[in-house]
Amino acid sequence: MSYLKEIWHSRELLQNLTNREVRGKYRRTALGQLWSLANPIAAILIYTFIFSFIFRLPAQVGNPSGLDNYALWLVCGLLPWLFFNRVLTLGVESLVSNAGLIQKVYFPRIVLPLSLANATFFTWILEMAVLVVALSLLGSFVLPWLPLVALFMVVFGLFSVGLAMMFSIINVYFRDLSYLLTIVLQFWFYLTPILYPVELVETQSNKLGGLVGTPITLLDLYTLNPVEGFIEIFRNLLYDNRAPELSTVLIALGWTVLAFGAGAWMYARKEKMLAELL
């Protein structure tokens, strides 16, 4: 409890560190914050060309929105993933790269990954705002769903920063983790239905039936991935304009509580030893 209180007291520090990240990042660039939109746009162009034009993925029609646009369908899943990816790759280094500060000043160390996640979240909001405009222009009636989108952005943010918190502590012990993570994230990206619909996995899974004599199917294993549920929620709200299934929401909430709880618990336990471990 006293730990939570301490975090609450350092909220101004958290805000200042967030500002440091946001303002420091695009200093002395002509386009400034606009650069944060460059990466997603490049990814959208490449993936749309490959998967929609060359590979001819089946059309993704939003139900009930009636949208039929691969690029938009892709972005609804891609933006959450890019956020997740950045929080993890930046967050895992957050303690090691601030070693100098940790060894000289006392402050709740948890603000380091939190401020990084906040700054990344800020970028994500900008990207999502552009997406909402694009969706509205192209015929998705997304406005009534925005409060829910915002809510799940926060939930997904907590899930992501929870993982980042755990990884940042493990990275103090095993510096390999940050390198390993970039590879894991590549696998993770392709094992999440961002570029292709989950229905394609379902088809293959049905062909295979139960794996090695058990009733467990490929799809069961595939949907263990917590990010899969979040992507589905975001697509339901933004692209399809309907409420996500309750079971998906509950599982996503469960993962969030688990990830954030474990991350916070690790900080409460290890924080005092960080200065000498680094």
Part in contact with other proteins (CB under 8 A); list of ranges 56-64, 146-154, 174-182, 247-255: 174-182
- In the complex with other proteins, which residue's Cβ is closer, 26 or 196? 26
Q: Which of 54, 100, 137, 246 binds other proteins (CB under 8 A)?
A: 100
CA distance 127 to 63: 24
Q: Is 269 in the site for other proteins (CB under 8 A)?
A: no
DSSP 143: G
Q: Which of 8, 23, 31, 200 binds other proteins (CB under 8 A)?
A: 23
Burial class from Cβ neighbours inside 10 Å (0-12, 13-18, 19+) for residue 45 reads: exposed
Q: What is the identity of the amino acid at 108? A: P
CA distance 25 to 36: 10
Q: Is residue 161 within 8 Å of 261, Cβ to Cβ?
A: no
CA distance 58 to 64: 18
Q: Which of 137, 212, 246, 276 binds other proteins (CB under 8 A)?
A: 276
Q: Is residue 247 within 8 Å of 257, Cβ to Cβ?
A: no
Q: How far is the CB of 29 from other proteins (least distance, A)?
A: 11
Per-residue mark of binding to other proteins, 26-55 (x: CB under 8 A): -xx---------------------------
List residues near other proteins by CB under 8 A.
12-13, 15-17, 19-20, 23-24, 27-28, 100-107, 173-177, 180, 272-273, 275-276
